[in-house]
Amino acid sequence: MDNKKSKTIADRVFVVTECSGLLDFLTLKLTNQSRNNIKSLLTHRQVNVDGRVVTQHDFPLKEEQTVRIVRSVIRGQKEKDVLQILYEDADLIVINKPAGLLAITDNKNGVSAYHLLTDYVRRANPKARIFIVHRLDRDTSGVLMFAKNEKLKLALQDNWGGLVTQRGYVAIVEGRLKEKSGRIRSWLKETKTLLVYSSPKVGDGLEAITNYQVINETQDYSLLNIQLETGRKNQIRVHMKELGHSVVGDTKYGARTNPLKRLGLHAHKLEFRHPFANQLLCFETEVPENFKALIKL
Euclidean distance between CA atoms 47 and 58, whole angstroms: 13
Type of residue numbered 240: M
* Cα separation values, 112 from 47, 80, 85, 126, 250, Å: 25, 9, 15, 19, 21
Say whether 89 is catalytic.
no
Alpha helix (H) residue ranges in the chain: 22-29, 35-43, 113-121, 150-158, 160-163, 235-243, 289-295
For CA atoms 152, 156, 162, 165, the dihedral sign is positive
Which DSSP category does 120 fall into? H
Type of residue numbered 152: L
Euclidean distance between CA atoms 105 and 59, whole angstroms: 41
In which element (H, E) is residue 284 found? strand 280-284
> Is the Cβ–Cβ distance between 281 and 6 less than 8 Å?
yes
Of 81, 137, 139, 220, catalytic: 137
Q: Which sequence positions are flagged as catalytic?
A: 137
